[in-house]
Structures are given as C-alpha cells and as structure tokens.
C-alpha cells in the first residue's frame, strides 16, 4: 500500500503511514520503552543497497583498525605524556577512531543517530557492535529481504507496458 496524503483543514496535509513501514521501538536493558524508534520503508530499495555499503565500509574500518594496531605493535614503546605509555595511547586513539568511523558507517544504514538509539546511550565497543549486528541481521534484514521480491514485482508490473517480462530486473 502506498502512502497517501490526507487533506487537512487550514491548508495542511498529512502523510498517512503506509503498511510497509517497519518500526522498531527501542527498549533499555530493563525492558522499559525509551520512546526512541527506528523506521524502515520496506518498499525502498535503498536499504538493501545501504546494507551492502554498511558491510563493505565496516570491513574496511575493521581492516584499518587491525592495520593500525599492527603498526603500533612494531613501534618502540616509551613513557607517554600522561597516564599511559606511548603505545597504549596510540592504541586508545586508534580504537577511538574505529568507534567514530563505526558510528558514521552504521548511521548510514540506521539513520542519523540510529546507532546511539539502539545502544541507549551506551558507548560503542566491539561487544555492542556485535549486538547491533545481530539486531540488523535478525530483525531488520529479513523484513527488507522479504519485500525485495515485492519491489521487483511492482517494478516489472509498472514499467513492463503490461507485458509480462521477466528480464526487466536481473
């Protein structure tokens, strides 16, 4: 079902929410609703493409982090400027960069601030990113993939000039 505009009084219009919107309400660790949510338009092919981009950019980000750690390990360690040694400071900086890049990458798919919403204010870590990956893989992507065939069928139906063609999208 497509979104419809409802004519409102006083020169206002309202977009009605279509059925093909996946809305995930966010709950904290105690099971209390936070009031935050994520929404995905299941009829939009951009989410499948954004997910592919998320996977590629996440792999690249993890590779850069591993490479940075390898370079740091090969360097000579010495006393740092403050609390930590030079190598420890460099590792922490590399980890902070990894977290910053991860947030940008995940928000590309989840929407602005989406990663922070899922984490309920917790800090990004490799553990929390694993939990977010499970949410995406188990709750979001199955719904998006299920609708991918519907998208293909709608495109074929709309743009095939009423001729049944299976070669429109391959």
Q: What's the rounded mean pLDDT across residues 42-57? A: 87
pLDDT on residue 162: 58
Check: pTM over 0.85? Answer yes or no: no
Least confident range of 40-49, 63-72, 84-93:
40-49
Residue 168 lies in a domain: no
What are the structure tokens assigned to 166, written together? 């299976």
Q: How big is the chain, counted in residues?
A: 170
In a domain, 3, yes or no: no
Comparing 64-68, 130-134, 152-156, the range with the smallest average pLDDT is 152-156
Q: Mean per-residue pLDDT for 47-57? A: 90
Other beta carbons less than 10 A from residue 19's beta carbon: 9
Pick the closest to residue 28 from 125, 131, 124, 121 (CA basis). Answer: 121
User: Does residue 4 surpass a pLDDT of 80?
Assistant: no
Does residue 109 form part of some domain? yes
**pLDDT of amino acid 69:** 96
69 inside domain: yes
Q: Is residue 136 part of a domain?
A: yes
- Assigned domain for 70 exists: yes
Angle CA(74)–CA(78)–CA(80) in degrees, nearest 5?
A: 115
Q: Is the pLDDT of residue 5 over 70?
A: no
Question: Is residue 58 assigned to a domain?
Answer: yes
The pLDDT of residue 123 is 86
Could you give the CA distance from residue 101 to residue 118 in angstroms, rounded to a whole number? Answer: 17
- Condensed to tens digits (0 to 9), the pLDDT of residues 95-120 reads 999 999 999 999 999 999 999 999 98
Q: Give the residue, 158 or 73, on which the prediction is more confident.
A: 73
| pLDDT computed for residue 2 by the predictor | 47
**Domain presence at residue 154:** yes
Nearest by Cα to 99 from 130, 126, 74: 126
Domain that holds residue 43: 19-159
Number of domains in the chain: 1
% of residues, the chain, pLDDT over 70: 86
pLDDT of residue 1: 39
Mean pLDDT of 123-140: 89
């Amino acid at each position: 079902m497509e979104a419809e505009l409802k004519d409102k009084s006083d020169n206002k219009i309202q977009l009605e929410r279509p059925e093909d919107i996946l809305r995930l309400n966010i709950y904290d660790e105690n099971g209390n609703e936070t009031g935050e949510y994520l929404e995905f338009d299941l009829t939009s092919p951009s989410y499948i493409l954004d997910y592919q981009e998320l996977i590629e950019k996440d792999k690249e980000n993890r590779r850069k982090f591993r490479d940075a750690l390898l370079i740091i390990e090969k360097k000579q360690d010495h006393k740092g400027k403050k609390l930590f040694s030079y190598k420890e400071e460099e590792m922490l900086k590399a980890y902070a960069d990894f977290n910053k890049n991860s947030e940008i990458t995940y928000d590309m798919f989840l929407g602005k601030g989406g990663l922070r919403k899922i984490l309920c204010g917790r800090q990004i870590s490799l553990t929390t990113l694993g939990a977010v990956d499970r949410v995406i893989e188990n709750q979001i992507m199955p719904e998006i993939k299920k609708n991918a065939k519907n998208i293909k069928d709608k495109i074929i139906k709309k743009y095939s000039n009423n001729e049944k063609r299976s070669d429109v999208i391959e």
